[in-house]
Amino acid sequence: MLSRLFGNQSLKRHARAIYDQLSLAARDSNLYGLDRVPDTPDGRFELLALHASVLFGRLSKRGDQAEEIAQEVFNILFSALDHALRELGVGDLSVGKRIRKLAESFYGRIAVYHGALMLKGEEEIQVLAAAIGIHVLDQPTHPSAFATVLATRIRNWALDLEETDDEILLRGEVPLPRG
């Protein structure tokens, strides 16, 4: 009984550390600004979803313990989104609907980004840049040069995560994206 309780606390602590690193990656000030990601709630959500998709993709390759941590990271993420919506003044009756819509968008983004990251070489960057242009930068026809820069950053981070030892990752020691 006690090992189960303490094991659960350890899982929550590691999931919180992973979420904190994920949040740091998505809040990189170099990603926001003119001709970059708009510094709005939607822009921040999109960058969080983009980075989370890479992280969840990596955790999905690890097994049961990683699935539990990924679920806890997901819970923390959506709890933070719920809190942010309330701080923005969204009424209690609307928060649930907004969270449900965000979750649907989140799962859709994960599918798109995972698909792009399964490709290799130049095609991977092109497809990922197009998806980033549509979802993150709201440029449905011609993604900007920054979309390619961000796609390259995300692909490189995915490669870094692949090289990170499972046990290190599961302790919450997530490397931040470079560049």
Q: What is the pLDDT of residues 134-163, one digit of tens each?
A: 999 988 777 789 999 999 999 999 999 999
Distance (Å, whole) CA 109 – CA 102:
10
Distance (Å, whole) CA 15 – CA 103:
19
Distance (Å, whole) CA 159 – CA 58:
10
Taking the model in full, what pTM does it have?
0.89
Q: What are phi and psi of 145, to 5 degrees?
A: -60, -30
Three-class SS of residue 67?
helix
Per-block average pLDDT, block size 10, for the chain (179 residues)?
Answer: 55 94 94 93 94 92 82 94 87 86 94 93 93 90 89 95 91 88
